[in-house]
Amino acid sequence: MGYEIDHCFKSNAQSDQEEKFKINISSQSYMDDVTWITKSKAQLEQILKIADEFNIMNNIQTNYDKFEMITNKKLDKDIIEVNFRSSKRMIKPLTSKESVRILGVWINLDLKTNYVFNQCKDIIKRYNKTISFKQITDLQMKYIYNHVIIPRVDYKAQLLVWTNSQTEKLNSTCRYMFKRKASLPLTTPNSIIHSSLSYAIKDINTIQAQRQLSRLYNQVTSKGMMKDIFEIDCKQLQSELLSNKSPLATWNISLKDLQVKHCLLARVLALLYDNMLTIKSSGVKVNQIQGGLLPIVEICTHKEIFSNGISKGLKGKNVYFVSQLMSSDGIRLQRYKDLKYRTKINTQGRISRWFKFIETKLIEDPLKSKKVKTDYQLGYNIYSVNTKIDNLKTKNWITTFHDQIGKPIIGRVLNKPKEDKIRIEHWIQDLENDQISPSVQLPILKKCGGCEVKTNQIRNKRSNTKVRCIADISIENCVKVNANSIQNDHYIADMAIYEALAQAECKYYGKTSMNECIIEKVNGLFKYIHPSDYRNTLIEIANNLTQETDIEIYTDGSVKNIATNEIMMGCAFVISAPIKKSFNCGITDNPSSNKAELMAVILSLMTCPKTANVEIYSDSQWVVNIFDDLNFLTIKDIERSKVNYKVLWLCLFKIIRIYSLKVKITKVKAHSDCDYNKEADKLAKFGAEKNVLIIEDKLLLHNGTVCWRDMPIERNPILMIKGIKDAQFIEEFLMLHHNEVYRQSDLLRLIDWKISLKLNNINQYDTLFEDHYLQSFRIKICCNELPTCANLKKRKPDLYDENWKCNFCKIEEETFDYFWKCSKIQNVVQDILTRLKSFLVKIIQEYSRDDIDIHELKIKINELDMWDIGRLYDFTFLMKNQISCQLMELLRCYKITEEKLLYKVLKQITGRVLLKFKVLIWEPRNDLQIKEEKCCGISGKDKKAKSHSKCTEVGVKNVDCNMLENNWNKWNDLAFHRGGHWANF
């Protein structure tokens, strides 16, 4: 019963031995739903017969009307008869393009996404229709989108990978209603809707990347049947790609370029590649295929392999390398007909399209010569030559390498004068055209009329006898070939002459030039440690502990200037017994005090001998607790855990298990009276200033290490994807044309971005409409989307002409920035400044823990640079929730540091500025605007009419993509290496 998944895999391209993988899966069932998968109708009927007997025996009713059948075979009839045990029924199978539901998920055999895509789009549209005329706040909409709608879409699409255009269509459907209900214009940039600058609505593309990464990770680290199925999937995909390594190890294909059909694994890998994510292992599942040089995938792009029939022509033929298609000397491409001798390719009929494409790729002019370009010429391919020589008989054809002339020749056996010698007659290729290379001419042989090969003279008294070129050669240098007679003492070889000669040359040099390589080896784990001075120090410590059984160690770590460009991190250990030894070094990447403490423990255990009892004293409670939690778990269970720095914890426990160490970690109080702990602490601080110790990925990588830009992610990868995408959205927003001010690095350094971004994501459960309208007003200011006259002329050019100026002075262009410079309302601006300064004094006095000198506080507030309007950073940035580093220093100076209190104070400050601007400037301006519009005959109906402007949603197309990628990559890269939030950089 059930079905089988199988695949034949060869680990050597030159070998006939193959490894067969086969798994039998009985059925898939859940409660009262059962799915049967079979290869044929007869097998299906046999299974249904057994199932029907079981149902009757247990009095189980079967609803035959709910039967669904799907097939990828072409049928002669639309309706087929299926024989159950008790009856025969007519069933209309679905085609491979049609979808069927299994446990709430819709699938089809062609992996078409349209059906589920339309379902998901309908889910969003139905919700939009429901709330279209409801009174609802922005935060209520955000909650429903993020916690109800998006999870439903995510569940339905878990077996599909959508393209960027499809996810963008779903996102735009969400954004349209959100912008409308949040009172935002459609021209509001999409990036600010999804970023932490404002609402942080979940992006479906990000959710898809997170889901598929989790799914693939679970498959890589699975056990039992799921593990076997995944390995077969990888090998099947590897064969289709013609890759000599597992797709997990070498994937470099984006989703838009993917040519592989009906393979979910390929689409998942392409999606992760687009997000610069990979899953690597320590080499256990690389599935590397040996036996050749220059993989085909290195000379042809992925698209070329599929569009030119290379994958279809070579799939299942065990051909992965260019060397398998080239002559034995690695200089010329073989003739198409000669491929049958080395591969399973059927060369009958006309030359295949894939071979012609490879020929044009490797050769300058295939009609004149078979010699490949210099870049693709390879060395001798000794694997391609059959070194076995059967009993040679008279008139057999051979090729051999002639020592005296230093090149290979072809000849015909005359006799065997000695046991290890044969006498041959030299033959040469009959060339019809001297203008083109012999490699593209027919392999016709004729007798040599005499040359330097001749070593024996045939005695004949007749003067008209033709001279024969005869030589005695060694049997061990011979390669047997076949030739057939055609006419007039001419023969035609069954392979190209150049290939026959190259085999003899290859055999000769392959026999004499294969020497063993001497590789310098370093024992144990230390070969993965760099640079060499650290490695030698650790080896010296390990050698001194070789005979010891009980070891006592103190460890410590140190981090300085975290989340800055001056970040330094070090670790150290001190062996207190049985001998006194110490070690310290600098470390890097994903910095934190926890990592520094953990690295010290790992390095100390590397020096311990096998079966030793090791007691480690650490002042890190985190290390002690996590060690106790993981100590009794298996390696597989640790791989599936969600602990931070999992890569390092796996390395630690592998060392313990492999060397059978008995380890106990004890908590010691930091900066206590213990001399060894003080020494370790001092060494760790000194180590932070030393050179960085590097551990190779081969030691750190485990089965299923998630990497970003080929760097192992030591923390939660799902949260890292979220942070990466958030950085992308914020960069998109900052790179828009009307945000040119943010392209000044001096301004970016004046803003505390980490605090500013977090300020947008607090109080998410306040659903008052007053807060809703105020937030909408703030977003319009951030995006420069307030309906000022300058913006109205862009949106409604048919209603507002160039004569519309500032409503206060009627002189200059009305923009948000000009409001603060307009001469008519300078008294209002100064009033706002005065009130804000007084409010700062009041709120700091209220929440500070210290006794405050009011006069001194007022002086410090007046000294803030943000009061000067027109400076790079002024107080108007507070309305955008962008807090200056100078203001943060002032609050910290007065001990307003507790997180909840700090954000409460900042919320009140930013809210006060925004409210004052709205009440004292914006609302009076609106009154003047309405009066002016009435004078010009512009009604509310006119303003709501469809705009003739070309303004649309603002998205990625407005961004300089090269600068965009460089910046957000740089921010995340700095956060990866130096610690902290990416916004710090």
Q: Distance between CA 2 and CA 26 in Å, rounded?
A: 4
When mean pLDDT is compared over 91-95, 787-791, 945-949, 956-960, the highest value belongs to: 787-791
CA 668 centroid distance within chain: 41
Mean pLDDT for 349-353 is 85
Mean pLDDT for 654-674 is 87
Q: Distance between CA 219 and CA 692 in Å, rounded?
A: 35
| pLDDT attached to residue 969 | 58
Q: Distance between CA 236 and CA 215 in Å, rounded?
A: 19
Summarised one tens digit per residue, pLDDT across range 869-920 is: 888 899 999 998 899 999 999 998 888 888 888 888 998 999 899 999 999 9
Say if CB 312 and CB 369 are below 8 A apart: no
Q: Distance between CA 467 and CA 451 in Å, rounded?
A: 10
| pLDDT attached to residue 381 | 67
| pLDDT attached to residue 384 | 52
Summarised one tens digit per residue, pLDDT across range 586-596 is: 998 778 888 89
Check whether 956 has a pLDDT greater than 50: no
Summarised one tens digit per residue, pLDDT across range 201-255 is: 999 999 999 999 888 888 887 878 888 888 888 888 988 888 888 888 888 899 9
When mean pLDDT is compared over 40-44, 155-159, 718-722, 864-868, the highest value belongs to: 864-868
Q: Distance between CA 211 and CA 160 in Å, rounded?
A: 11
Q: Is 687 left (phi over 0), alpha (psi -120 to 50) or beta?
A: alpha
Check whether 76 has a pLDDT greater than 80: no
Give the pLDDT band (50/70/90) at residue 527: confident
Residues pairing with 80 in the sheet: 91
Check whether 810 has a pLDDT greater than 70: yes
HSE (CB half, 13 Å, CA atoms) of 910? 26
| pLDDT attached to residue 226 | 84
Q: Distance between CA 949 and CA 793 in Å, rounded?
A: 9
Amino acid at 760: N
| pLDDT attached to residue 517 | 31
Summarised one tens digit per residue, pLDDT across range 386-427 is: 556 667 788 888 888 887 788 888 998 888 877 778 888 888
Say if CB 517 and CB 507 are below 8 A apart: no
Summarised one tens digit per residue, pLDDT across range 440-468 is: 888 888 888 778 777 665 555 454 456 67
Check whether 511 has a pLDDT greater than 60: no
Task: Pick the closest to residue 875 from 783, 984, 750 (CA basis).
Answer: 750
| pLDDT attached to residue 28 | 64
Check whether 616 has a pLDDT greater than 90: yes
Residue 322 exposed, middle or buried by CB count within 10 Å (0-12, 13-18, 19+): buried
Check whether 550 has a pLDDT greater than 80: yes
Check whether 985 has a pLDDT greater than 70: no
Residue 644 exposed, middle or buried by CB count within 10 Å (0-12, 13-18, 19+): middle
- Peptide bond preceding 578 in cis form (omega within 30 of 0): yes
| pLDDT attached to residue 89 | 79
HSE (CB half, 13 Å, CA atoms) of 287? 27
Task: Pick the closest to residue 275 from 716, 728, 680 (CA basis).
Answer: 728
Task: Pick the closest to residue 343 from 736, 754, 105, 16 (CA basis).
Answer: 16
Give the pLDDT band (50/70/90) at residue 962: very low
Q: Distance between CA 815 and CA 176 in Å, rounded?
A: 26
Check whether 191 has a pLDDT greater than 80: yes
Residues pairing with 411 in the sheet: 398, 426
Question: Tokens 């949040």, residue?
Answer: 182
The CA-based angle 518-523-525, given to 5 degrees, is 125
Summarised one tens digit per residue, pLDDT across range 112-166 is: 888 889 989 999 999 999 988 888 888 888 889 999 999 999 888 888 898 899 9
Give the pLDDT band (50/70/90) at residue 970: low
Q: Distance between CA 69 and CA 94 in Å, rounded?
A: 6
| Proportion of the chain above pLDDT 70, given as a percent | 89
Give the pLDDT band (50/70/90) at residue 574: very high
Q: Is 590 left (phi over 0), alpha (psi -120 to 50) or beta?
A: left
The CA-based angle 849-854-859, given to 5 degrees, is 115
Q: Distance between CA 70 and CA 134 in Å, rounded?
A: 43
Amino acid at 766: D
Summarised one tens digit per residue, pLDDT across range 305-347 is: 888 888 888 877 788 888 888 888 788 888 888 888 777 788 8
What's the pTM value of the predicted model, to 2 decimals?
0.76
Give the pLDDT band (50/70/90) at residue 835: very high
| pLDDT attached to residue 973 | 57
Give the pLDDT band (50/70/90) at residue 555: very high
Q: What are phi and psi of 421, to 5 degrees?
A: -125, 150
HSE (CB half, 13 Å, CA atoms) of 249? 19
CA-based torsion, 31, 32, 37, 42: positive or negative: positive
Q: Distance between CA 508 and CA 315 in Å, rounded?
A: 33
Q: Which residues contact 222 (CB under 8 A, 6 or more apart)?
A: 230
Residue 416 exposed, middle or buried by CB count within 10 Å (0-12, 13-18, 19+): middle
Q: Is 193 left (phi over 0), alpha (psi -120 to 50) or beta?
A: alpha
Q: Indicate the Cα dihedral angle 242, 248, 254, 258, nearest 10°.
A: 40
Check whether 964 has a pLDDT greater than 60: no
Domains and CATH numbers, the chain: 3-102 (no CATH), 111-202 (no CATH), 283-383 (no CATH), 396-510 (no CATH), 529-695 (3.30.420.10), 744-936 (no CATH)
Q: Which two tokens stand for residue 610?
A: 């096998």
